[in-house]
Amino acid sequence: MNQNTLLKLLNDVASGHIIPEDARKSLLHLAVEDIDYAHIDHHRSLRKGFPEVIFGEGKTHDQICGIMERMEIQEDIILVTRIEREKAENVLARFPKASFHEDARMLILENKPLPKTGSGKILIISAGTSDIPVAKEAFLTANAMGNSVETLFDVGVAGIHRLFQHKSLLEAASVLIVVAGMEGALPSVVAGLVKSPVIAVPTSVGYGVSLGGLTALFSMLNSCSSNVSVVNIDNGFGAGYVASAINHIHQK
């Protein structure tokens, strides 16, 4: 759907030839802009409640800027994930209003402040200090998507009492994100204490048979606590996104 057909549709709505509900439906799955190296999915916001997020890895900064330019016209917020400092600086030169979070490798362009629309509270827990960058990515994502988010860092199972001090915080959360590397045991313990859904995020922190995060991942998938589901290794973004989707199930 190009700019002209979009305009025509809206004119038809304006003139009463098309009723709004029908227009909403046709907009839902059609509007795609082809800029050669990308098919930008402009109506993802409508369909999914949040615009397309740009995966920075493997794209040049020119490609990222090109996509952002098209999106900027229509969206309130743009997220770029997995973008390294050098590439980010090139993008910041073009979009000075954007902010870059180096540890989380995330760039955010906020055209206007987003309201808090999520119904409950999201709690993000990390097992160790070295897991914080991934936890941060989850935090920035969930926050950008309109949720109240709290964090609790470095409460791994080697000193399990650190976690128990915060039991009321745990019980108050609607959704919990638990980030852990090495043996990935923390989500099982946390999920055993609460009834809310727990999203486990394995990290690549560790060495030897941590196998770049595979061990933590498999551990979490084998959790003996049943209210646990899992996302990819180091995928803080995905965890934040899923948590937000859960926290918005009543805003359908």
CA atoms within 13 A of residue 31's CA, in its CB half-sphere:
24
Give me the sign of the Cα torsion angle 232, 238, 240, 246: negative
d(CA 98, CA 21): 35
Of 65, 92, 169, 245, the residue at the interface with a copy of itself (CB under 8 A) is 245
- Euclidean distance between CA atoms 124 and 241, whole angstroms: 13
Contacts (CB under 8 A) with a copy of itself, residues 140-179: 153-162, 164-165, 167, 174-175
Interface of this chain with a copy of itself, residues 180 to 199, rule: CB under 8 A: 182-185, 188-189, 191-197, 199
Q: Closest distance between a copy of itself and the C-beta of residue 172, in Å? A: 8
Among 69, 85, 117, 249, binds a copy of itself (CB under 8 A): 249
Q: Is 5 in the site for a copy of itself (CB under 8 A)?
A: no
In the complex, what is the shortest distance from the CB of residue 32 to a copy of itself, in angstroms, rounded to a whole number? 5
Among 191, 105, 171, smallest CA distance to 141 is for 105
Residue 86 touches a copy of itself, criterion: CB under 8 A: no
Confirm or reject binding of residue 93 to a copy of itself (CB under 8 A): no
The answer to whether residues 45 and 72 touch, using CB atoms and an 8 Å cutoff, is no
User: Do residues 216 and 203 lie in contact, with contact meaning Cβ atoms separated by under 8 Å?
Assistant: yes
The sign of the torsion formed by the CA atoms of 97, 4, 24, 27 equals negative
Residues from 21 through 50 that contact a copy of itself (CB under 8 A): 21, 23-24, 27-30, 32, 36-39, 41, 44, 47-50
| CB of 93 or CB of 249, closer to a copy of itself | 249
Which of the residues 47 through 76 are near a copy of itself (CB under 8 A)? 47-50, 52-53, 55, 57-59, 63, 67
Q: What distance in Å separates the CA atoms of residue 107 and residue 37, rounded to the nearest whole number?
A: 21
Q: Segment 94-133, which members bind a copy of itself (CB under 8 A)? A: 119-120, 127-133
